[in-house]
């Protein structure tokens, strides 16, 4: 699977987010590789309406009721989100906060992908029983020269072995080879942003990356 984090990139905001969501759906339909779009909240419903699977970039540990300015799992689920990233290196959470958020998701049919910047952190967050763990060394995010696959194959292998949950890998992912190496090391997919979101032709880039899952 390929998870495309739209982040707060201008190139993935508003109508551009909808266009990118359409690209994600089309590539999934044609390649049969699951592609998840992760837009900003204000673009969520419009992206859901393109038919693509959507996750949100973050959830808050608050219940429905007397709270102002927070994001609840019930609200984003009702808007069509299928899941969420949590603890991304660009939106780190205290472990207690992460635990409370996972408790609020509870038994809902709602996917939780917890991000971890190291094998040690991956082992800690595995205790919250997520659907996916995304291993992303922060220092390689948006790198133009390296990727998690080329620079940290040993850590990928260690995370896959240790956590006992489906692992996504991210940070600098930009080539079919990055995907192939990740799959070979036991990852279920990749979590990426800049290489697709900032591409001249995101569809062509996404199709190319999807080839990495075909043997």
Give SS3 for 115: strand
Query: Residue 11 or residue 123: which is nearer to ligand G3P going by CB?
Result: 11
- Active-site residue flag, 195: no
- Considering only 1, 2, 5, 110, the residue that binds ligand G3P (CB under 6 A) is 5
Of 60-68, 106-114, 119-127, 189-197: span binding ligand G3P (CB under 6 A): 189-197
- Considering only 14, 78, 142, 164, the residue that binds ligand G3P (CB under 6 A) is 142
121 binds ligand G3P (CB under 6 A): no
Of 63-71, 159-167, 169-177, 205-213: span binding ligand G3P (CB under 6 A): 169-177
For residue 135, give the H/E element and its range: strand 132-135
CA distance 198 to 98: 30
Cα 71 to the center of its chain, rounded Å: 18
Query: Residue 103 or residue 138: which is nearer to ligand G3P going by CB?
Result: 138
Q: Exactly one of 77, 121, 136, 208 is catalytic; name it.
A: 136
CA distance 206 to 138: 22
Longest dimension (CA), the chain: 52
Of 16-24, 44-52, 159-167, 190-198: span binding ligand G3P (CB under 6 A): 190-198
**Are the CB atoms for 9 and 43 separated by under 8 Å?**
no
- Active-site residue flag, 136: yes
Selection from 52, 56, 7 nearest residue 33 by Cα: 52
141 binds ligand G3P (CB under 6 A): yes
Q: Could you count the other beta carbons within 10 Å of the beta carbon of residue 172?
A: 27
Residues tagged active-site: 88, 136
Residues binding ligand G3P (CB under 6 A): 5, 88, 136, 141-142, 170-173, 191-195
């Amino acid at each position: 699977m390929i998870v495309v984090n739209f982040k707060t990139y201008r190139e993935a905001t508003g109508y551009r987010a909808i266009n990118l969501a359409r690209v994600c759906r089309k590539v999934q339909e044609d390649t049969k590789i699951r592609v998840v779009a992760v837009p900003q909240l204000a673009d969520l419903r419009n992206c859901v309406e393109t038919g693509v699977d959507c996750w949100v970039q973050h959830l808050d540990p608050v219940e429905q009721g007397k709270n102002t300015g927070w994001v609840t799992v019930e609200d984003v689920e009702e808007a069509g989100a299928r899941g969420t990233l949590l603890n991304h290196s660009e939106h780190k959470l205290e472990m207690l906060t992460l635990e409370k958020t996972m408790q609020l998701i509870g038994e809902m049919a709602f996917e939780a992908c917890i991000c971890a910047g190291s094998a040690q952190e991956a082992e800690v967050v595995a205790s919250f029983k997520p659907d996916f763990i995304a291993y992303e060394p922060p220092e390689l995010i948006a790198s133009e020269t390296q990727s998690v696959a080329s620079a940290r194959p040993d850590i990928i292998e260690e995370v896959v072995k240790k956590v006992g949950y489906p692992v996504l890998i991210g940070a600098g992912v930009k080539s079919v080879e990055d995907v192939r190496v990740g799959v070979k090391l036991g990852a279920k997919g990749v979590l990426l942003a800049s290489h697709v979101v900032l591409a001249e032709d995101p569809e062509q880039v996404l199709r190319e990356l999807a080839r990495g899952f075909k043997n």
